[in-house]
Structure 1
Amino acid sequence: MKTVSLHIHMNASSPLPFSQACENNQGPIFEVLSTAFACSRHVLEIGSGTGQHSVFLAPRLAHLIWQTSDLQEQHAGIQAWHAAHGAANLRAPLVFDLASSAWPDSGSPQSFDAVFTSNTCHIVAWPLVQRMFTLVGQHLPTGGMFAIYGPFNYGGQFTSKSNQAFDAWLRQRDAASGIRDFEAITALAQEHGMQLQLDQAMPANNRTLVFHKL
């Protein structure tokens, strides 16, 4: 879970928390999810942050329910975005802390058949990344989808100088954070019964990884 907010500020003309990076990447993320989640019906977003992704993606994926979640301190901002840009298929945030929370109740007879998380793997400590994969692997049904957006290293190497500088900044702020290795993420997914379906290049040296549950 996002225990800190990176590059988030209050918009001068609005009380809404605002992330420029989120504003920039939500279109490309939608392009991936429109295919990856085409057959999904109930999505859990882990670490909804400002709430910007949820209000952008939910109305554009109107065939599914979009359930937000995050630490309690993030809820006011998420709810403010929902109040300003609501959608019929958008759900108020649930409290979900990767350090301690049980898997959230979907609130309906249908369990979550898809999970989305953006910019969490490099923010939280590795044991929390491991717990996220454990929980998703345990609760995602066969055929379910798990999509992850963020920067990743390949072969132990940074993909850009900007990612290398970002990683150094992350680790100076919190030694337990940092850009994760693609190979470690895919191995973790395989360990929990999920197979890589897509590794899509995204703007600003990011990727979207899509896994499906076997």
Structure 2
Amino acid sequence: MKYKPHSPACERNREPILAVLQRHFADRSRVLEIGSGTGQHAVYFGAALPHLTWQTSDLESYHAGIRAWLDEAALANVLPPLTLDVTGDWPETQFDAVFSANTLHIMGWREVEAFFAALPTVLPVDGKLIIYGPFHYDGRPTSDSNARFDATLRSQPGDMGIRDRSAVDRLARAAGLRLIDDIAMPANNRCLLWQKTAASITWPGKDGA
């Protein structure tokens, strides 16, 4: 039997996230998931949203675990992982939606910038982006637990840390995306939803993260 990685956080947050996807991805057909991690979200959302073709992606080191979940689930609408480093080459195919969970605070700020800079290559006008995870607002954490989590992240190498919503939104706007929803989620997380309304504009450069 193949080893399947398991994330308790995925088990806890999948139902609240699914409720958001059911509402906002009802009119979508092709989703690119950035940072599929264990693969748990992909098979859960793929099974619950059979109208979507769900494309997994992550660094090569995660592929075996993702494939283990996909092989067991055997869902025709969930595709094997693409190798995707946000600072490298992105797929040439376009998708009408992009989803990513708990990734921006793990990326360095340069990688967050690269993530948003590349979105216009995969998202057409009207494409949607949903990002789930913790965010600061006006430079401040939304809870004591998020403050502690941020301190832990920033004590490690790699320029990790919880990102400020305003700083992230500036990157999104530079990529031609407009914030259309900001949804409170359990455990002091958020789902931020953008929609692409135009081509990318002048890149804002390094900002407060």
TM-score between the two structures when normalised by the length of structure 1? 0.89
Superposition pairs of residues 175-194 of structure 1, within 5 angstroms: 175-194=158-177
* Alpha-carbon distance in 2 for matches of 1:170, 1:193: 30
Q: Which residue of 1 aligns with 2:57?
A: 69
Q: Which residue of 1 aligns with 2:18?
A: 30
CA deviation after TM superposition for structure 1 residue 104, in Å: 1.2
Stretches (4+) displaced over 3 A: none
**Matched position secondary structure for 2:105:** coil
Q: Does 1:45 align with 2:33?
A: yes
What are the Cα deviations for residues 134-176 of structure 1, in whole angstroms up to 9, with x where unaligned?
A: 1113331111000000000001110011101111111112250
* Contact in 1 for aligned 2:28/2:52 (Cα 8 Å): yes
**Amino acid of the structure 1 residue aligned with 2:148:** A
Q: Does 1:148 align with 2:131?
A: yes
* Contact in 1 for aligned 2:10/2:40 (Cα 8 Å): yes
After superposition, the Cα gap between the structure-2 partners of 1:129 and 1:87, relative to the gap in structure 1 and judged at 3 Å, is: same
**Matched position secondary structure for 1:211:** strand
* Alpha-carbon distance in 1 for matches of 2:129, 2:101: 11
Q: Which residue of 2 aligns with 1:6?
A: none
* 2:66 aligned residue (51, 54, 78): 78
**Matched position secondary structure for 2:31:** strand
Percent identical pairs in the alignment equals 49
Q: Which residue of 2 aligns with 1:96?
A: 84
**Matched position secondary structure for 2:6:** strand
* 1:168 aligned residue (147, 151, 160): 151
* Alpha-carbon distance in 2 for matches of 1:36, 1:136: 18
Q: Which residue of 1 aligns with 2:194?
A: 211
CA deviation after TM superposition for structure 1 residue 38, in Å: 1.1
**Matched position secondary structure for 2:155:** helix
Q: Which residue of 1 aligns with 2:201?
A: none
* Alpha-carbon distance in 1 for matches of 2:37, 2:68: 12
What are the Cα deviations for residues 12-56 of structure 1, in whole angstroms up to 9, with x where unaligned?
A: x98210111111001111100111111111100000000000000
* Alpha-carbon distance in 2 for matches of 1:87, 1:147: 22
Residues matched between the structures, number? 197
> Where do 5+ consecutive residues of structure 1 fail to align?
1-12
**Amino acid of the structure 2 residue aligned with 1:193:** G
**Amino acid of the structure 2 residue aligned with 1:98:** V
Give the CA RMSD over aligned residues. 1.4
* Alpha-carbon distance in 2 for matches of 1:174, 1:167: 13
* Alpha-carbon distance in 2 for matches of 1:175, 1:75: 22
